Structure 1
Amino acid sequence: MAWNEPGGNSNNQDPWGNKRRGGDRKGPPDLDEAFRKLQDSLNGMFGGKKRSGGGGDSSGGDSGKGMGFGMIAVFVAVLAAIWLYSAIYVVDEQEQAVVLRFGKYYETVGPGLNIYFPPFDRKFQENVTRERAYSKQGQMLTEDENIVEVPLTVQYKITNLQDFVLNVDQPEISLQHATDSALRHVVGSTAMDQVLTEGRELMASEIRERLQRFLDTYKVGITVTQVNVQSAAAPREVQEAFDDVIRAREDEQREKNQAEAYANGVIPEARGQAQRLLEEANGYRDEVVARAQGEAQRFTKLVAEYRKAPEVTRERLYLDTMQEVFSNTSKVLVTGQKGQNNLLYLPLDKMMEKQRSGSAAAGTSASNAGQADAPASIDLGQRDLRSRETR
């Protein structure tokens, strides 16, 4: 027989061996009794009446009304606390907040303690001073139809929170798409050599300018501060071939540098020699011209003197010519009086000395001997000339 059937349990005990009413119970708590205690406490807080064990219908009805009013008040208070907690917010020094009222832009809030009214208002709060970064890497074609893999990093920050929130649904996704478009446009207009070597800085500048134009056109509210194009490389499948090309290019550049260094050493020297030859030629030309002009002037003056005294001038010219001729020879001609034979004198000792000492020393000694004997020849000629004038 079950424990709760009449007469089934004479001691009126529950399945745990405890009495159902009264006494110390060690089993599970009575939920009905706990709920009644909670209800009595709430009724006391909000002006209701406590339940009593022997109350009639009227007291039970008043208790039910008090309990309902208390529960509503508690619910309203909890809702008010939750709303107030969510409505008050703090904007930091580095942040801004955009408030929308009924889905339309209402205001932009600066740093400080602020409040808005959900669900009529919505706020979007973002850090507008922090610099953010976005990285991208992909394979693309260059101008000369080669495939390269170009990684880059875009650094940006939010400069207009209203545009950032309202104009574009997902502004950072739009930034990524615009970056991909700008990167492919610039790389597609650049040769592979420039992409892989020294053209990265110029590419980064062009990508930044083009990307900023895209963002300004979309009015995203983002300003790109820096674009860094990292070391571009060929796809791994053809990396060895590209390495060979790079090494060949480096060898070519080294050979060019060596050739330029050699040219820088030879060309100035050749130019100096050419300049020296030009100066020597100019000097020789000036010398010849000056000598010719001097000879012409001397001849002009000599003509004037010849017209004054033809015989004397003729004899003077003859003597000067003979002096010039005999000054360069080892033979000596001695002229006698009129009607006498001329005497040819050969200085054999001078000739032997010339053969021994060589052509250079012999030429010098012969010139000195000619100059030493010339005055005697000139004196003999002058005496002959005076004797003929006397006759």
Structure 2
Amino acid sequence: MKLTVGFIWIIVLIIIAIYFLSGFFFVGPAEVGLVKRFGAYRISVGPGLHYHLPTPIESVVKVNTSALRKEEIGFRTITPGSYRSYEDEALMLTNDGNIVYVEAVVQYYVLEPEKFAFNLVDPSVIVRFTTEAVMREEVAAVGINDILTVQRESISNKAAERIREELEKINAGIAVKNVYLQEVSPPSQVIAAFDDVNNAKQDKEKLINEAERYKNDVVPKAQGNAAKMLREAEAYAQEKYLKAFGQAQRFKSILKEYEKAPEITKKRLYLEMLNSILSSSEKYVITGDSGVLKLLNLPLMEGGN
């Protein structure tokens, strides 16, 4: 009987020892241990071996603060290289009334493990819903052409900043690293029509560029020809003006001489005119006053000399 009682006590002591030994726990290098007492947060411990009072008095929640976590919007990764689409998340409305298919990824770290573990019931669901809501608002602020082309990076940056703000409001203890748009495209049902529209826009741009090139080729030539004609006209006008001015000055000088000696001036002008007219003609001089004409062939006489 005594042996049986002693054996029972040994078993009880072993059970008690095992119970108290169950309070030892190990925290990994990338983790933080959050110790709770009767469900209330008490203390945080770093990597290494630690002890807390056995359950149900105390318990520990381990949170990895170094791992880069992600949530996927519009799709889920099944296996590496294999994905499943969720159109109810991916289809979003733009501000010009078009529907666009958007797949996005948000990456984040746990910044404050206490808030992350105790303020959020399901952190992944909170992050996913917050990201989806913000993305819908950002997409709704731009047109479909912008999000398909030049605004993708801008939308990603704005979405990341707004997600940070929203998670800070609920004390999520999360640091958003970045948001990137994995795929942005028209819905599969209308992608052919979008291709036709884009082709038409490209043709339009091509024609505009060709017209600009033609304009840039023709307009400078026309401007050059116009400038040349203008300079020639100005030169012709200047020439005519100077010629007229010179003739007017010559007439004035002659007029002064005429006023001084009218008869002499008239004879001089008369002789100058004859000289001008007869400069290329043969000249004969008639001498004497008898009835016989005596001619002197001046060019022949000059040649004879």
TM-score w.r.t. structure 2 length?
0.70
Amino acid at match of 1:128: T
Structure 2: which 5+ runs fail to align?
75-89, 290-298, 300-305
User: Is 1:133 matched up with 2:70?
Assistant: yes
Q: Give the C-alpha shift of residue 176 in structure 1.
A: 1.0
Structure 1 position 281, deviation (Å): 4.2
Question: Structure 2: how far apart are the matches of 1:325 and 1:116?
Answer: 137
**CA shift at 1:285, angstroms?**
5.0
What does residue range 91-130 of structure 1 map to in structure 2 within 5 Å? 91-92=28-29, 94-119=30-55, 120-130=57-67
Matches for 1:17-166 after TM superposition, within 5 Å: 60=1, 62-84=2-24, 86=25, 89-92=26-29, 94-119=30-55, 120-137=57-74, 138-166=90-118
Aligned-residue Cα RMSD (Å) equals: 3.7
Q: Check if 1:196 corresponds to 2:148.
A: yes
Q: CA 1:299 to 1:219, structure 2 compared with 1: closer, same or farther past 3 Å?
A: farther
Determine helix, strand or coil for the equivalent of 1:153. Answer: strand
Any conservation in 2 of the 1:195–1:232 contact (CA below 8 Å)? yes
The change in CA–CA distance for 1:204 and 1:271 in structure 2 (over 3 A counts) is farther
Q: Distance in 1 between matches of 2:54 and 2:276?
A: 128
Greater relative contact order (Cα < 8 A, sep 6+): 2
CA distance in 2, matches of 1:141, 1:68: 72
CA distance, structure 2, for counterparts of residue 118 and residue 278 of structure 1: 104
1:172 to 110, 115, 124: 124
Matched, 1:205 2:173: no
Residue 79 of structure 1, CA deviation: 1.6
Distance in 2 between the 1:209 and 1:195 partners? 18
Q: Tell me if the contact between 1:164 and 1:222 (Cα under 8 Å) persists in the aligned partners.
A: yes
CA distance in 2, matches of 1:305, 1:132: 112
Query: C-alpha separation between the residues in 1 aligned to 2:138 and 2:276?
Result: 87
CA distance in 2, matches of 1:295, 1:103: 119
Greater Rg by CA: 1
Indicate the residue corresponding to 1:239 in structure 2.
Answer: 191
What are structure 1's unaligned runs of at least 5 residues? 1-59, 341-375, 377-391
Task: Describe the superposition over 1:38-87 as per-residue Cα deviations: whole angstroms up to 9, x where unpaired.
Answer: xxxxxxxxxxxxxxxxxxxxxx3x22321221121121122223223x3x
AA of the residue aligned to 1:237: Q
The 2-side partners of 1:284 and 1:193 are apart by 58
User: Residue by residue, what CA displacement relative to the aligned partner does 1:136-158 show, whole Å, maximum 9, x if unpaired?
Assistant: 12112221212221112222222
* Alpha carbons 1:91, 1:114 under 8 Å: kept: no
**Which amino acid is 1:256 matched to?**
I
Aligned-pair distance for 1:126?
2.7
Is the 8 Å Cα contact of residues 22 and 54 (structure 2) preserved in structure 1?
A: no
**8 Å contact 1:96–1:126 — kept in the other structure?**
yes
Contact 2:23 2:51 in 1 (8 A): no
Pair 146,296 (structure 1): closer, same or farther in 2 beyond 3 Å: same
Q: Is the 8 A contact 1:208 1:224 kept in 2?
A: yes
The corresponding residue for 1:214 is 166
Could you tell me how far apart the structure 2 residues matched to 1:238 and 1:123 are? Answer: 53
| Alpha-carbon distance in structure 1 between the residues aligned to 2:128 and 2:212 | 46
Aligned length: 273
Conserved? CA contact 2:109–2:176, under 8 Å: yes
| Cα distance change on mapping 1:275 and 1:77 into 2, 3 Å | same
> Which structure's residues are more often strand, by fraction?
2
Partner of 1:230, secondary structure, is strand
**Matching residue's letter, 1:261:** R
**Could you tell me which residue of structure 1 aligns to residue 133 of structure 2?**
181
Counterpart residue number, 2:177: 225
- Normalization by structure 1: what TM-score? 0.57
Letter in 1 for 2:97: E
Q: Structure 1 212/334 Cα, relative in aligned 2: closer, same or farther at 3 Å?
A: farther
Q: Residue 63 and residue 257 in structure 1: after superposition, are their counterparts in 2 closer, same or farther (change >3 A)?
A: same
Secondary structure of the 2:121 match is coil
CA deviation string 1:357-380 (max 9, x = no partner): xxxxxxxxxxxxxxxxxxx9xxxx
